[in-house]
């Protein structure tokens, strides 16, 4: 016979699957000998049976009855016993905490008779009737699904009649009247009288908890949180203890360490003469937990001892709920407590110091998201909350951090002002590749359109630069160099604004910024052994070193300039995994690129390429210098050529309007023809990447020559360049083969011209589903694979990041279609499967193949674990995310033991 009911003493903390989180921890505390009110847990298995079959499993009722009987014997009174009732609470408790579910029904066992017994036993009639009305109210609301407002309105009516505002001013008679009224509401709403049989009350409550698993709110919550749908919930039946039996009673919460700072000490709150729900309702103010030492020294000492026991036992910060009933301390719940990022690092470090956990375990207690949070500068919270700074609006927290500067509305002003030493915030409706230099010059970026994966957001995150995007309350008026708030307020060019990339808030004026000491540590500005380093920096340093020792994955950075490369190296990057060359085609090179695109003869085209060559060579030389001795993966040109030309609609309008005015411009007209010729319906799926290399003779050849010449220069200068040549957007091995042969020829030629050996690997991005699916073939011509998980996500899902984020991602997240955007965290089932296929089959075809990832997922904690497990050699991410990837790569290796 399956056992469906466990007494608290029969379980333990590792049985969360069967008993739920709450039940497992109640069992653990019971077995530790802590004062837990007796009770029992009905398993998740019983719930699953009920949900599958619509009926309670055979034997469950009898088991409940047996356990309830034992509880009654232990407590010396029966459930609802008229002269001295045993009362119980019924609480849901699933494997994972689920706020969307029914929580609690208290005081089960009360009815018109037992309420009198409770009153006489406790000597407090008001308490007894208050307890009774709480039962009817909770039962009606959560078990019987009655609109809670009906009960609240009844209470308000009584208070209005009496001319009072505080529940505490209601007396026993008032509660007695309210019980009658509440019972009438139940009868009206359900067509049945309120159930007065205590066992029936309990049965209905248990059934309601089971059913709550499938309530729409719970279903949606699980969808969003990716909690499996078939776990079911456990039900905890626990004898009631009361914190509201007078001033020698009370209820409180406690933490074994400060969950905000992580520092040791006594943290928590206590409320005399109250039940837990009163604390939540916030009717009266709590006192600090330390005050309990004065109020009830015995209970306080006992609690302190229990907290020590729990922390030693759980070897972590514990979060506790307790009640004191007439001087007797009872533990109602415990769990490993939530904490801030700083607390997580400090606690892990302290516990390791105290020998409570091994240092490997400490590494598992922190994560990359927490580290990332610690790395951003922040606004001084008190200042921002004060009156001196006016909040202009709020957008999406696209790239965290705090930035202050003068508002500018175009990139050239941003660049100019920044050159003159001004700090600026670049404010645009949305950004495009032309804004790149402006974005580099700015302290932060603010846009009124676009989501978290808009160009502004993506590029800003890539730079580790603060960005608030999609602040729709702000009408950014580029033409008039100003923005107007929804309230009609105007902010002009040069006015100082402050943007908070962590919260999405935008303020007028200069909000004070607090620097991140963790970044200063990574930038080698703080020595962790020095006095300047606080305990947080020391904890970060210790755990980073631990992670670096453990990790197998190398971490590289995506960087396109010598400056970014140098920064990435300081952050611990072991090379560049993605050096994009398209940025080298912008700015003052644009003219040369236009010459290339507009070339009508082979000579014109070759001339344009020859003119570009020295620029590219100089770019590469700079990057190879910054990364001397480390690999630099250079991606040949990827975007479609028309990205370097004006927008077709804007230009068409300009030409047509000029024509209409008789002021045609021959250059514009000629440009328009080129733009029309190159226009594509779906440029992302058009002539780009390797296709461009095959369609525009000489383009990739020029790029490879620039790489080869720069490397030869470096070698002659005594450097150790390690370029890796990467071909983008390959779909079939034939494409790669043709380009690769040409690249090897150029390397050979330049090597011979310079008398040096240029034996650099040529590989490909795997960023199309077909490339992953034919990886075994492609491996024959590729010395490395680098997964471009951004494009792989776009093509596997068939959506363009630029287009879909704004139009339906928010709806998808709300409806639970996604738990998280697949652009933020790798979609393991779909895109991840392609990665696995390519690794397995690529390795089978070429055992020495090197595998990396250079999509943004390379810096995402969850994704890093996946890449580790899949057996990649490195991840590459933006410089700012390098420490995050290092930490997570270390955690992944330490956890799996390889």
Q: Name the residues that contact a second copy, by CB under 8 A.
A: 223, 648-649, 652-653, 656-657, 660-661, 680-687, 691, 694-695, 729, 731-732, 734-735, 738, 767-770, 773-774, 777, 791, 794-800, 802-804, 807-808, 811-812, 815-818, 827, 829-831, 833-834
> In the beta sheet, which residues pair with residue 444?
425, 466
Return binding residues for Mg(2+). 767, 791
Say how far apart CA 671 and CA 649 lie, in whole Å: 13
Catalytic residue among 455, 554, 642, 865: 455
Return phi, psi of residue 228, to 5°.
-55, 150
- Our CB check for a second copy shows the closer of 62 and 695 to be 695
Classify 416 as helix, strand or coil: helix
For 545-666, strand residue ranges (E) read 554-558, 576-580, 631-635
Say how far apart CA 171 and CA 866 lie, in whole Å: 61
Catalytic residue among 469, 854, 857, 877: 854
- Our CB check for a second copy shows the closer of 366 and 762 to be 762
β-strands 104-108, 88-94: how paired?
Answer: antiparallel
Spell out the residues 6+ positions from residue 672 whose beta carbon is closer than 8 angstroms to its own. Answer: 648, 651, 652, 655
DSSP 393: E
Spell out the residues 6+ positions from residue 195 whose beta carbon is closer than 8 angstroms to its own. Answer: 201, 204
Q: Environment class of residue 269 by beta-carbon count within 10 Å: exposed (0-12), middle (13-18) or buried (19+)?
A: middle
- Cα–Cα–Cα angle for 643, 644, 648, rounded to 5 degrees: 60
- Our CB check for a second copy shows the closer of 619 and 791 to be 791
CB of 49 vs a second copy, minimal distance in Å: 21
- Our CB check for a second copy shows the closer of 720 and 833 to be 833
Say how far apart CA 738 and CA 741 lie, in whole Å: 5
DSSP 38: P
- Our CB check for a second copy shows the closer of 282 and 798 to be 798
Return binding residues for substrate. 580, 635, 767, 788-791
The answer to whether residue 455 is catalytic is yes
Q: Environment class of residue 458 by beta-carbon count within 10 Å: exposed (0-12), middle (13-18) or buried (19+)?
A: buried
CB of 649 vs a second copy, minimal distance in Å: 5
The answer to whether residue 318 is catalytic is no
CB of 469 vs a second copy, minimal distance in Å: 17
Q: How far is CA 276 from CA 322, 441, 687, 771, in A?
A: 9, 53, 64, 58
- Our CB check for a second copy shows the closer of 648 and 756 to be 648
CB of 770 vs a second copy, minimal distance in Å: 4
- Our CB check for a second copy shows the closer of 420 and 682 to be 682
Query: Token pair for residue 798?
Result: 């068939």
CB of 729 vs a second copy, minimal distance in Å: 7
CB of 687 vs a second copy, minimal distance in Å: 4
Query: Token pair for residue 862?
Result: 């969850």
Return binding residues. 580, 635, 767, 788-791
Say how far apart CA 206 and CA 49 lie, in whole Å: 13
How are strands ordered across the β-sheet holding 482-484?
475-477, 482-484, 490-492
Concatenated DSSP letters for 666-729?
Answer: HHHHHHHHHHHHH--SSGGGSS-THHHHHHSTTHHHHHHHHHHHHHHHHHHTT---EEEEEE-S
> In the beta sheet, which residues pair with residue 271?
251
Q: How far is CA 362 from CA 259, 323, 343, 348, in A?
A: 16, 32, 13, 5
C-alpha of 639 from chain center:
30
Say how far apart CA 184 and CA 258 lie, in whole Å: 47
- Give catalytic residue positions: 455, 854
């Amino acid at each position: 016979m399956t056992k469906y009911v466990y007494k608290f003493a029969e379980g333990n903390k590792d049985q969360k699957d069967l008993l739920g989180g709450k039940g497992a921890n109640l069992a653990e505390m019971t077995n530790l000998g802590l004062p837990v009110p007796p009770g029992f847990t009905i398993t998740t298995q019983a719930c699953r049976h009920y949900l599958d079959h619509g009926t309670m499993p055979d034997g469950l009722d009898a088991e409940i009855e047996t356990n309830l009987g034992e509880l009654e014997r232990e407590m010396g009174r029966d459930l609802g016993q008229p002269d001295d009732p045993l009362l119980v609470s019924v609480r849901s408790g699933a494997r994972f905490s689920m706020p969307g579910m029914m929580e609690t029904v208290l005081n089960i066992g009360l009815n018109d008779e037992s309420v009198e017994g409770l009153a006489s036993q406790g000597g407090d009639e008001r308490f007894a009737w208050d307890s009774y009305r709480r039962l009817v109210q909770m039962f009606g609301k959560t078990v019987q699904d009655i609109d809670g407002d009906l009960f609240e309105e009844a209470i308000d009516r009584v208070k209005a009649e009496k001319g009072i505002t505080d529940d505490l001013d209601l007396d026993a008679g008032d509660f007695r009247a309210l019980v009658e009224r509440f019972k009438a509401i139940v009868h009206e709403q359900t067509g049945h009288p309120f159930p007065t049989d205590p066992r029936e009350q309990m049965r209905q409550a248990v059934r309601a908890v089971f059913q709550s698993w499938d309530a729409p709110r719970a279903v949606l919550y699980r969808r969003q949180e990716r909690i499996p749908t078939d776990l079911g919930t456990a039900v905890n039946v626990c004898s009631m203890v009361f914190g509201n039996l007078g001033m020698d009673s009370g209820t409180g919460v406690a933490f074994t360490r400060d969950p905000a700072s992580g520092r040791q000490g006594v943290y928590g709150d206590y409320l005399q003469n109250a039940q837990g729900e009163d604390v939540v309702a916030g009717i009266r103010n709590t006192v600090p937990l330390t005050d309990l030492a004065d109020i009830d020294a015995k209970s306080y000492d006992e609690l302190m001892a229990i907290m020590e026991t729990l922390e030693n036992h759980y070897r972590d910060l514990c979060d506790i709920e307790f009640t004191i009933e007439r001087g007797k301390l009872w533990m109602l719940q415990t769990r490993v407590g939530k904490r801030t990022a700083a607390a997580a690092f400090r606690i892990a470090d302290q516990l390791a110091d105290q020998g409570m956990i091994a240092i490997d375990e400490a590494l598992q207690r922190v994560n990359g998201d927490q580290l990332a949070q610690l790395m951003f500068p922040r606004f001084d919270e008190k200042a921002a909350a004060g009156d001196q700074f006016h909040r202009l609006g709020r957008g999406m927290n696209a790239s965290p951090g705090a930035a202050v500067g003068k508002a500018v509305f175009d990139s050239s002003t941003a660049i100019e002002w920044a050159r003159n030493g001004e700090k600026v915030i670049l404010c645009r409706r949305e950004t495009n590749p032309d804004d790149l230099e402006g974005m580099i010059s700015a302290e932060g970026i603010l846009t009124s359109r676009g989501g978290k994966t808009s160009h502004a957001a993506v590029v800003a995150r890539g730079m580790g630069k603060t960005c608030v995007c999609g602040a729709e309350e702000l009408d950014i008026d580029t033409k008039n160099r100003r923005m107007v708030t929804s309230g009609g307020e105007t902010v002009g060019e040069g006015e100082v604004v402050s943007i908070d990339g962590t919260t999405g808030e935008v303020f007028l004026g200069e909000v004070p910024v607090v620097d991140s000491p963790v970044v200063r540590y990574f930038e080698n500005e703080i020595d962790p052994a020095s006095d300047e380093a606080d305990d947080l920096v020391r904890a970060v340093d210790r755990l980073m070193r631990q992670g670096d020792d453990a990790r197998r994955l190398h971490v590289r950075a995506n960087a396109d300039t010598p400056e970014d490369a140098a920064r990435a190296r300081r952050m611990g990057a072991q090379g560049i995994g993605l050096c994009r060359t398209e940025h080298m085609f912008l700015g003052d090179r644009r003219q040369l690129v236009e010459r290339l695109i507009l070339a009508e003869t082979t000579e014109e085209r070759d001339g344009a390429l020859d003119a570009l060559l020295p620029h590219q060579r100089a770019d590469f030389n700079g990057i190879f210098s910054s990364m001397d001795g480390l690999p630099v993966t250079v991606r040949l040109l990827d975007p479609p050529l028309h990205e370097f030309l004006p927008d077709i609609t804007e230009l068409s309008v300009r030409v047509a309007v000029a024509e209409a005015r008789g002021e045609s411009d021959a250059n514009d007209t000629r440009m328009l023809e080129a733009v029309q010729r190159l226009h594509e319906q779906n440029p992302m799926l058009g002539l780009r990447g390797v296709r461009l290399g095959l369609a525009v003779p000489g383009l990739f050849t020029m790029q490879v020559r620039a790489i080869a010449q720069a490397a030869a220069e470096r070698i002659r200068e005594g450097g150790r360049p390690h370029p890796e040549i990467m071909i983008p957007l390959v779909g079939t091995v034939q494409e790669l083969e043709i380009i690769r042969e040409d690249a090897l020829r150029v390397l050979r030629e330049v090597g011979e011209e310079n008398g040096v050996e240029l034996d650099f690997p040529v590989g490909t991005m795997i960023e199309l589903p077909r490339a992953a699916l034919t990886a075994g073939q492609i491996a024959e011509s590729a010395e490395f694979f680098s997964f471009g998980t951004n494009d792989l996500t776009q093509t596997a899902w068939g959506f363009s990041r630029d287009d879909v984020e704004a139009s339906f991602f928010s709806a998808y997240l709300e409806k639970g279609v996604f738990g998280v955007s697949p652009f933020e965290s790798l979609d393991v089932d779909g895109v991840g499967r392609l990665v696995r296929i390519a690794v397995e089959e690529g390795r089978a075809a070429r055992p020495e193949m090197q595998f990396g990832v250079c999509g943004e997922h390379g810096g995402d904690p969850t994704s890093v674990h996946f890449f580790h497990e899949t057996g990649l050699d490195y991840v590459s991410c933006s410089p700012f995310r390098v420490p995050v990837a290092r930490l997570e790569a270390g955690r992944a290796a330490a956890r799996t033991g390889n």
